[in-house]
Amino acid sequence: MSAGVVLTEVDGRGVAWVTLNRPEVHNAYNRALLDALTAGLEELAARADVRVLVVKSDGKHFQAGADIAYLREASAFTFEQNLEFSRITTRAMRTLNEFPALTIALVNGACYGGGVGLVACCDVAICADDAAFGLTEVRIGVVPSPIAYYLNAAMGVHNVRRYGLTAERFGSGEALRMGLVQEVAARGALREAAERVIGETLSNGPEAVRITKRLTLEKAGLLLSDEQVEELAQLGARQRASDEGREGLSARLEKRRPRWAPKPAVQVK
C-alpha cells in the first residue's frame, strides 16, 4: 500500500482499491491529490493482473470539491499556471475514463464539482443513500470543462443543462434517476454492493472485458483526442483567469457573495 493523499492496494484477486485520503478536508482536491491519483492510475493501468479498479474515499465524504487553501493559491495564478492546472485535471479524468479494466466508484457523503467528474468517469457508480451531489463550478465563476464529455455521457445532456447551469444540489434518488449512479445502497453496505459487481466481473474473460470497454468508449466518442483534451484545458484555464473567475474565487475565499449574485430578499413583516 502506498502512503499519502491517495492510497492504492491490489488484493489477491486482482482488484485495485484506490482511496482518496484527505479526510481532514473532506478529500477536497489540490494539485497533490490530482498528481497522486493520476500517477497511481497510470501505474495500475500498466499491470496486466489488475482486473477491477475501485475508487473510494476515507472519511465522511467522497470528494467535496476544491480545497480552500488551494483556491487561495490559485487566485494568484498566471494564465500559464492556470493552464498547467487545467492540464493536470484533464489528464486525471482522461486516465480514469480510459482505465483498461472495469472501474467502480463508491460514493459516500458529499460529492461536488470534480468529484462528480470522477464518478462520471467510472463504469459503475454506487452511492450511499445519504450521498449529496452538485456541479458547483459556475457558482464561483469557473467551468467544468475537464469533465464535460463524461458528464454528458453519464448524466444525459438535458440533466447537465439543468444541474451544470443552476449548480443545484441533488441527492441519491435523483442521481439514480438520471443515471449518474446505477445503484443506491445503505451507507454501511457500499463495500458489499461493490463485491457483487466485482464477483460478476471476475467471472468474465479479462481480455474480453478490456476490449469491450475500449470498443464501447470508442463508439460513444469518449476516447478523446489530444486536441480535444487540450481544448478543454484551454477553456478551463481562460475562464479561471478571467475577471469573473477571479471574482468568484475571491468571493469564496472571503466568504461573501460574488458581485453577480443578488442580495437576499428583505422579509417584510
> 150-170, pLDDT tens digit by residue?
999 999 999 999 999 999 999
Residue 250 lies in a domain: no
DSSP 106: E
- Where residue 54 falls among pLDDT bands split at 50, 70, 90? very high
CB 117 within 8 A of CB 151: yes
Paired residues of 192 in beta bridges:
none
- Domain annotation covers residue 244: no
Whether residue 235 is contained in a domain is answered as no
Please check the confidence at residue 33 and state whether its pLDDT lies above 90: yes
Instruction: Tell whether 171 is covered by a domain.
Output: yes
Q: Please check whether residue 90 lies inside any domain of the structure.
A: yes
Q: What is the mean pLDDT of residues 5-28?
A: 97
Work out the average pLDDT over 20-49: 96
**69 vs 250, higher pLDDT:** 250
Residue 75's pLDDT band (cuts 50, 70, 90) = confident
How many domains does the chain contain in total? Answer: 1
Q: What percent of the chain has pLDDT over 70?
A: 97
Which of 245, 70, 22, 252 has its CA nearest to residue 144? 245
In a domain, 20, yes or no: yes
pLDDT band at 266 (very low <50, low <70, confident <90, very high): low
The CA distance from 65 to 37, in Å, is 15
- Any domain includes 265: no
Tell me the per-residue pLDDT of 95-128, one tens digit each, with 9 for 90 and over: 999 999 999 999 999 999 999 999 999 999 999 9
Q: Which long-range contacts (CB under 8 A, 24 or more apart) does 8-15 make?
A: 8/40, 8/43, 8/44, 10/44, 10/47, 10/49, 10/50, 13/51, 13/52, 13/198, 13/202, 14/49, 14/50, 14/51, 14/52, 14/202, 15/50, 15/51, 15/52, 15/53, 15/54, 15/198, 15/202
Cα separations in angstroms, 139 against 142, 166, 228: 8, 8, 25
Is residue 238, in this structure, part of any structural domain at all? Answer: no
* Domain ranges, residue 85: 6-219
What is the pLDDT at residue 60? 95
pTM over 0.75? The answer is yes
Q: Name residue 104's beta-bridge partners.
A: 54, 124
CATH code of residue 203? 3.90.226.10
